[in-house]
Amino acid sequence: MYCVRNVTEDLYWVGANDHRLHLFENIHPIPRGVSYNAYLLLDESTVLFDTVDWSACRQLLENVEHLLDGRPLDYLLINHMEPDHGASIEEILLRWPKVKVISTEKAFMLMRQFGFRIDDHELIEVKEGDTQCFGKHTVTFVAAPMVHWPEAMVTFDLTNGVLFSADAFGSFGALDGKLFNDEVDFDRDWLDDARRYFTNIVGKYGPHVQLLLKKAGGILDKIRVVCPLHGPVWRSNLAYLIDKYDHWSRYAPEEQGVLIAYASMYGNTEDAAQALAARLCDKGLTKVALYDVSNTHVSTLISEAFKYSHIVLASVTYNLGIYPVMHNFLIDMKALNLQNRTFALIENGSWACKSGDLMQKFIDEEMKNMTVLNERLSMASSLHADKAVELETLANALLESVGHTAE
């Protein structure tokens, strides 16, 4: 059965939701599923904007066939060819052999590299500033390299102000009927997944996102609707979304608060983390989030690290090193280019406590623009009452650095 939604007068969402995929990119858990958005414009020419993952191809075909109602498909416009969007390109070409494919030189190169048989079809190579008229609608193309792959572009409909934004402004989470941002409580139900999507998928490429935001800034008053390739379509409150993207891509925290991530073998390092969290809250700083790195997926830890201004890492020493899951978190923060944060460290070791020095070394030598507070809490096996002063000192140092006045 077809499943479509009307976006504007003659533009339709023809994508699909996926609740069966467990891991996005085979690495990030998506308990709320994901949507693969594609859009069909019924102008004098018919235009399909992007396709969907192979697993959702049948739904896409039913949707497009229903809306075309016997008309031919004239154009297939590909903003981003990564297989979660491009895998159905070949099937579209088989169904509508006369369709003309519009995309960038790099996208065509990558399509060939992935084995898509495109060369028997008319290919229209476009670059930034080019325009294409489909009848009433004229679109223009804007290069968006590394948002999130090098071939990506976004397409702006000059006629009705619709921005086809590719991966930009997307989110994890299936739509399940609700297509528009004003049909959901985004702040309550979607923001965490949108941040987790951005930070883990595009987080590394903050400067490229900034470049795209700068270009978007030039036409901001003309953008009416943003149609991303995942998650809700935005038709109101664009400033909210752009502000989030601006923070994330500048590596600026959304919240002056403290993320406490702990690695604990027998619960003793966890005790210290809990005691610190309680002291902070007791002093009035309740923007505190606490996670066990062993049972929290690193994509969530990354999202929270992008959210908060301060990060406390509490780790046992393991094989004379940092606990492996904590080490992995550090490596992922570095890989995703996180910067401009203040750290505090809690270390634990029963006979050769090394984790504090090693975490400090990693942060100092491997990461950019990070500060580590001097007030480190060291413990041997467990936190005893004689460490109460050190704990208090650490809590106060964090409060001062966050800019919170102790109550």
Q: Which is nearer to ligand FEO, 148 or 195 (CB)?
A: 148
Q: For the window 159-178, what string marks contact with ligand FEO as x by the rule CB under 6 A?
A: --------x-----------
Q: For the window 10-39, what string marks contact with ligand FEO as x by the rule CB under 6 A?
A: ------------------------------
Count the Cβ atoms, other than its own, within 10 Å of residue 221: 8
Alpha carbons within 13 angstroms on the beta-carbon side of residue 189 total 13
Residue 229 DSSP SS3: coil
Interaction of residue 84 with ligand FEO, rule CB under 6 A: yes
* Nearest distance, CB of residue 148 and ligand FEO, angstroms: 4
Pick the binder of ligand FEO from 80, 244, 327, 404 (CB under 6 A): 80
How many separate helices (H) and strands (E) can be counted in the chain?
Answer: 12, 23
* Nearest distance, CB of residue 215 and ligand FEO, angstroms: 19
Return the H-helix or E-strand segment holding 344: strand 342-348
Q: How many residues interact with ligand FEO (rule CB under 6 A)?
A: 9
Which part of the chain contacts ligand FEO (CB under 6 A), choosing from 41-49, 82-90, 111-119, 299-307? 82-90
* Nearest distance, CB of residue 112 and ligand FEO, angstroms: 18
Rounded to whole angstroms, the Cα distance separating 35 from 52 reads 9
Give first-to-last CA distance, the chain, whole Å: 60
Q: Which is nearer to ligand FEO, 171 or 342 (CB)?
A: 171
Which part of the chain contacts ligand FEO (CB under 6 A), choosing from 77-85, 96-104, 336-344, 362-370? 77-85
Locus of tokens 């046992």: 316
Q: Which is nearer to ligand FEO, 151 or 347 (CB)?
A: 151
Contacts of 352 (CB under 8 A, 6+ apart): 317, 320
Contacts of 132 (CB under 8 A, 6+ apart): 75, 77, 102, 124, 126, 138, 139, 141
Rounded to whole angstroms, the Cα distance separating 228 from 285 reads 36
Residue 170 DSSP SS3: coil
**Residues 290, 264: contact at Cβ < 8 Å?**
no
Which part of the chain contacts ligand FEO (CB under 6 A), choosing from 79-87, 104-112, 218-226, 256-264? 79-87
Interaction of residue 229 with ligand FEO, rule CB under 6 A: yes
In the chain, the amino acid numbered 198 is F
Locus of tokens 């504090």: 356
Q: Which is nearer to ligand FEO, 43 or 84 (CB)?
A: 84
* Nearest distance, CB of residue 28 and ligand FEO, angstroms: 11
Q: For the window 140-159, what string marks contact with ligand FEO as x by the rule CB under 6 A?
A: --------xx----------
**Residues 210, 249: contact at Cβ < 8 Å?**
yes
Q: Which is nearer to ligand FEO, 152 or 313 (CB)?
A: 152
* Strands 123-125 and 131-133, sheet pairing: unpaired
Pick the binder of ligand FEO from 5, 85, 137, 196 (CB under 6 A): 85
Contacts of 19 (CB under 8 A, 6+ apart): 33, 174
* Nearest distance, CB of residue 230 and ligand FEO, angstroms: 6
Residues within window 204-223 making contact with ligand FEO, judged by CB under 6 A: none
Q: Where does this chain bind ligand FEO (CB under 6 A)? A: 80, 82, 84-85, 148-149, 167, 229-230
